[in-house]
Structure 1
Amino acid sequence: MGFWAAFGQLVLLAILLGAVTTVIDSVLGVVGLGAMIKKIPVVGSNWTLIIAILMMAVLDFSPLTYWGITLDGWSGWMGYVGSGAIIYGMVPMKDAVISMISKGFRM
């Protein structure tokens, strides 16, 4: 896998994170728990990061192997936290890529 394929993989996981966050927020809003969860001090401010970590735990996937970062030596939860944090950090890059594509690659 080349650099751009690995980069695209991270961007697609960031897009998936946005979709998963929207669905979970919608379901919690229907149930009536959304506002209550957002008011918890640590959880509310880091809600998207928590969802990213849970998403990587469910997928059981390490997107960092192209760069030689294997999370095999880490215990399960540390790999999930690391991968989730990296995917969460890719959200601004995803926004920049989508903005560039929507402008038609104008420079």
Structure 2
Amino acid sequence: MTPVEPHSRFNSNCRIQGGIKSGRGGRALLAGLLTCGRCGRRLGVVYSGRPPGHPYYRCERINQMLAKPRCMTFGASRIDPAIGKEILTAVTHKAASTFWSDTFSRTL
């Protein structure tokens, strides 16, 4: 298998499935991973605006349970790309260091 095949397969899958999505079908990268800094509960994801809708993270629990204002709401447009970039940087560095350590261990 050549290195180009997985990338082409990934692009093919994205075209078939309608784009890159998170586990439950939405476009929010951090769905289910963030917690509220105020109450500690898990943040939910909502999609607002014109289709296809922009993802927003918000703490709904206190609103649902006690009819109080939400702890926080913020858009995913800044945090998702920033966290995605950090994840790719970490994975890339780890993959490169693993590759080079394997390469040097074979030559010795």
Structure 2 length normalisation: TM-score?
0.32
Q: Which has the higher relative contact order, 1 or 2, with Cα contacts under 8 A spaced 6 or more apart?
A: 1
More helix by percentage = 1
More strand by percentage = 2
Structure 1 length normalisation: TM-score?
0.32
Highest Rg: 1 or 2?
2
